[in-house]
């Protein structure tokens, strides 16, 4: 229990820290939003008026408190360029990005877990070598490249087997689930295959450690299980806490690939929104979006740590050694 | 045998630092040679060494010569197929793809090198704080690392890109922060074990400061982790550069890099799919090489796994103890546990050889 409280306090502190960081980093900005919005041949008074309108002329502390207070009420502010609330913008984009990441993670787990287990179960040195090469080479592919190769293979109009939509997302969103899903398959594969290599490597390492440790796996075999049964039935359960951590970290690390792939497949996702807003120096929007994403990943980290604890009863009676 | 030994074992009449330095340098050179030979003996290590050497060579050559000038464009030969003049064809401005890829190697090499150095600095700083005697420092730094570890590289890059604009510096900065934190987290268990060990205890009892203990005792203990993590970081920085440049927050427009080549080739894939192949292939091969390099270095530099190195280490440990004692800097009692890596057998042999020389 002490661990949970401590972890929650850390989470709150980290949220605060990140909000200060994001806020401070964006104030060093050379071209500020008022100047950009006013256009190239704007008068100084027009810029000043815009500054006043967005409250950019107030002291930083007041600006920060205003923004942070809004965040606490779920008010993310208005985009300075489009004039729409940031919250709705983020909401529509997240409906593309999150299904994409989750689908990618499912693919990564579906490929990485079995291969990682197979790499430990097999006894043939040749197969082991093959799995080793596969794990290293798979993780070395840039997501942009895997996406391009998939496009060249399966993309409609481009690929050798043009069976899947190659670009875009249905304009009516998820009201046509089949079409929306189909347009996510290739992007999800592009990120999932690369992430699978990482999951495979970690699964192999975790399972190998547990097998080498003897104890439980050997015990299960002494009780009559075959080596495969013991590894999958006992070893995998013991590796579960570690694997949850790895899956969480993979989820976080996939976001780079996801942003690239969104761009490549012309999906209207969070990545495209964020990159566009950074390019446009839309201070208000970038600030809230960066904070939201960072908060999401902090939450993910929290969830992973708590799940790790819950899955590993051996940690429960530990002193707070971490 | 005579020539070999004299440069390592310090003679008793000169106890000054200069002699000691040459002796240790000789040992270090031999140790590096042994490690390199062990790496070369294995397929993966050999592939890594060859690929990385080619990378460095190409980067150097591209500073002085590329098949075609980078900025030479040709409106009549855009997206050309490979030919004698353009072995990998031309891009959308008629510039030579091979030349741009060659020039890109130096940008990526610089980014990778800087990212490794900076992330090592950040990582070691946090490792130092995490194993600090002060409880407050230690728990605060652990909390900071645990909290920030889940922020992805691309978010840090986007944050940096707002004030600084798209540049190689943004890639280096984002990679350094993200990989540095990761390094700290991964190296912490080994560092803690070393920090609580008896040899650190005895070194500190002898008056070694915290920094000294960190550099001389904790660092060698986390060096296997460092080798693997840092070379993986170098590889990931190449991948990150490609992604970030494509997103428009990486190296600026007109700067050659593999990410730049990959991003420009994307625009016309439906017409000229082959141009996509090369930059992606190069990135993949280089990242594989960096990952294998880390693994091979860890295995080769581990005195437990590598018998040839064990002998060299033993010799150098004895030489080091001899030098320390000869220079009167430490007593025998404190010097021996300090460098107790030497196996007693090897120590005996070296001692015998030294006696023979006299």
Residue with the bigger pLDDT between B74 and A91: it is A91
Question: What SS3 class is residue B110?
Answer: helix
A152 Cβ under 8 Å from any chain B Cβ: yes
Percent share of chain A, pLDDT over 70:
87
B263 Cβ under 8 Å from any chain A Cβ: yes
The CA distance from A255 to A257, in Å, is: 5
- pLDDT tens digit sequence for B289-303: 998 898 888 888 877
Question: What SS3 class is residue A155?
Answer: strand
pLDDT tier, B335 (very low <50, low <70, confident <90, very high otherwise): very low
Residues of chain B by 3-state class (helix, strand, coil), percent to 5: 75, 0, 25
Nearest to A278 among B240, B249, B266 (CB): B249
The CA distance from B10 to B31, in Å, is: 18
- The yes-or-no verdict on residue B10 having pLDDT over 90 is no
- The yes-or-no verdict on residue A317 having pLDDT over 70 is no
- The yes-or-no verdict on residue B191 having pLDDT over 80 is yes
pLDDT tier, B237 (very low <50, low <70, confident <90, very high otherwise): very high
DSSP A233: I
Can you spell out the DSSP letters for B206-256? TT--HHHHIIIIIHHHHHHHHHHHHHHHHHHHHHHHHHHHHHTSSSPTT--
Mean predicted confidence (pLDDT) in B123-152: 83
Mean predicted confidence (pLDDT) in A276-302: 82
Residue with the bigger pLDDT between B326 and A259: it is A259
Mean predicted confidence (pLDDT) in A4-24: 85
Average pLDDT, chain A: 80
Mean predicted confidence (pLDDT) in B345-351: 46
Query: What CA dihedral angle connects A154, A160, A165 and A168, to 10 degrees?
Result: 100
Least confident of A4-13, B124-133, B206-215, B306-315: B306-315
- pLDDT tens digit sequence for A156-202: 666 666 666 667 677 666 667 777 788 888 889 888 988 898 899 88
The CA distance from A146 to A272, in Å, is: 19
CA separation, residue A100 to residues A199, A262, A271, B266 (Å): 18, 9, 12, 21
pLDDT of residue B349: 47
Chain B residues within an 8 Å CB radius of A253:
152-153
Reported ipTM exceeds the 0.85 cut: no
For A155-168, give one letter per residue: b (16+ CB within 10 A) or e: beebbeeeebbbbe
Q: Which of A129, A109, A117 is nearest to A229 (CA)?
A: A117
Mean predicted confidence (pLDDT) in B58-75: 78
A276 Cβ under 8 Å from any chain B Cβ: no
Q: Inspect the interface and report whether the beta carbons of A264 and B266 lie closer than 8 Å.
A: yes
pLDDT tier, B269 (very low <50, low <70, confident <90, very high otherwise): low
Q: At residue A28, what are phi and psi to the nearest 5 degrees?
A: -80, -10
B239 Cβ under 8 Å from any chain A Cβ: yes
Domains by residue range for chain A, with CATH: 1-81+282-322 (no CATH), 90-279 (1.10.3720.10)
pLDDT of residue B7: 41
Q: Inspect the interface and report whether the beta carbons of A297 and B152 lie closer than 8 Å.
A: yes
A275 Cβ under 8 Å from any chain B Cβ: yes
Mean predicted confidence (pLDDT) in B83-105: 77
Q: Inspect the interface and report whether the beta carbons of A294 and B155 lie closer than 8 Å.
A: yes
CB-CB contact of B229 with B294 (8 Å): yes
- The yes-or-no verdict on residue B113 having pLDDT over 90 is yes
- pLDDT tens digit sequence for A83-138: 778 888 888 888 888 888 889 999 999 999 999 999 888 888 888 888 888 888 88
Mean predicted confidence (pLDDT) in A245-254: 80
The CA distance from B323 to B24, in Å, is: 9
Least confident of A35-39, A235-239, B20-24: B20-24
CB-CB contact of A272 with A263 (8 Å): yes
Q: How many CB atoms lie within 10 A of CB A65?
A: 12
- The yes-or-no verdict on residue A274 having pLDDT over 50 is yes
Mean predicted confidence (pLDDT) in B176-200: 86
CA distance A11 to chain B (A): 7
pLDDT tier, B115 (very low <50, low <70, confident <90, very high otherwise): very high
User: What is the model's pTM?
Assistant: 0.80
């Amino acid at each position: 229990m002490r661990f949970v409280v401590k972890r929650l306090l850390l989470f709150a502190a980290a949220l605060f820290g990140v909000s200060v960081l994001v806020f401070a980093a964006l104030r060093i900005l050379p071209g500020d939003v008022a100047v950009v919005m006013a256009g190239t041949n704007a008068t100084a008074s027009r810029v000043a008026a815009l500054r006043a309108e967005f409250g950019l002329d107030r002291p930083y502390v007041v600006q920060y408190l205003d923004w942070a207070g809004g965040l606490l009420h779920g008010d993310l502010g208005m985009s300075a360029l489009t004039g729409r609330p940031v919250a709705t913008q983020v909401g529509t984009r997240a409906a593309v990005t999150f299904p994409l990441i989750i689908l990618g993670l499912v693919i990564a787990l579906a490929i990485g877990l079995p291969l990682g287990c197979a790499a430990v179960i097999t006894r043939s040195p040749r197969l082991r070598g093959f799995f080793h090469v596969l794990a290293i080479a798979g993780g070395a592919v840039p997501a942009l490249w895997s996406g391009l190769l998939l496009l060249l293979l399966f993309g409609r109009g481009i690929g050798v087997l043009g069976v899947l939509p190659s670009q875009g997302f249905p304009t009516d969103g998820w009201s046509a689930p089949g079409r929306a899903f189909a347009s996510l398959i290739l992007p999800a594969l592009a990120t999932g295959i690369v992430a699978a290599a990482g999951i495979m490597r970690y699964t192999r390492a975790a399972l190998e450690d547990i097998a080498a440790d003897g104890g439980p796996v050997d015990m299960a075999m002494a009780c009559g299980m075959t080596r495969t049964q013991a590894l999958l039935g006992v070893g995998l359960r013991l590796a579960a806490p570690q694997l949850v951590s790895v899956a969480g970290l993979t989820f976080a690390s996939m976001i780079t690939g996801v942003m690239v792939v969104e761009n490549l497949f012309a999906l209207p996702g969070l990545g495209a929104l964020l990159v566009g807003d950074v390019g446009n120096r839309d201070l208000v929007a970038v600030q809230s979006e960066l904070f939201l994403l960072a908060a999401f990943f902090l939450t993910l980290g929290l969830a992973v740590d708590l799940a790790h604890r819950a899955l590993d009863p051996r940690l429960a009676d530990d002193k707070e050694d971490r | 045998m005579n020539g070999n030994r004299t440069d390592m074992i310090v003679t008793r009449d000169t106890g000054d630092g200069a002699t000691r330095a040459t002796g240790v340098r000789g040992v270090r050179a031999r140790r590096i040679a042994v490690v390199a030979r062990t790496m070369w003996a294995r397929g993966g290590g050999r592939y890594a060494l060859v690929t990385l050497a080619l990378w460095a060579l190409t980067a150097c050559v591209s500073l002085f010569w590329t098949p075609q000038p980078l900025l030479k464009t040709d409106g009549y030969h855009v997206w050309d197929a490979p030919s004698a003049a353009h072995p990998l064809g031309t891009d959308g401005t008629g510039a030579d793809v091979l030349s741009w890829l060659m020039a890109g190697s130096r940008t990526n090499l610089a980014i990778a090198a800087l990212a490794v150095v900076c992330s090592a600095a950040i990582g070691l700083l946090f490792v130092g704080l995490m194993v600090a005697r002060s409880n407050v420092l230690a728990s605060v730094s652990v909390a900071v690392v645990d909290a920030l570890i889940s922020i992805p590289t691309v978010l840090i890059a986007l944050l940096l890109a707002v004030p600084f604009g798209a540049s190689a510096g943004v890639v280096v900065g984002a990679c350094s922060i993200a990989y540095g934190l990761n390094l700290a987290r991964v190296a912490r268990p080994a560092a803690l074990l070393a920090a609580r060990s008896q040899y650190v205890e005895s070194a500190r009892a002898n008056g070694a400061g915290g920094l000294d203990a960190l550099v001389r005792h904790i660092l060698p203990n986390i060096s296997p982790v460092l080798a693997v993590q840092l070379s993986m970081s170098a590889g990931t920085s190449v991948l990150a550069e490609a992604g970030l440049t494509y997103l428009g927050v990486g190296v600026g427009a007109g700067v050659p890099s593999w990410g730049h080549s990959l991003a420009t080739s994307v625009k016309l894939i439906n017409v000229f799919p082959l141009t996509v192949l090369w930059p992606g292939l190069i990135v993949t091969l280089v990242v594989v090489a960096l990952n294998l390099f880390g693994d091979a270095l860890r295995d080769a530099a581990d005195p437990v796994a590598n018998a040839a190195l064990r002998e060299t280490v033993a010799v150098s440990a004895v030489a080091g103890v001899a030098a320390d004692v000869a220079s009167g800097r430490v007593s025998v009692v404190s010097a021996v546990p300090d460098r107790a890596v030497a196996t007693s057998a090897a120590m005996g042999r070296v001692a015998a050889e030294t006696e023979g020389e006299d």
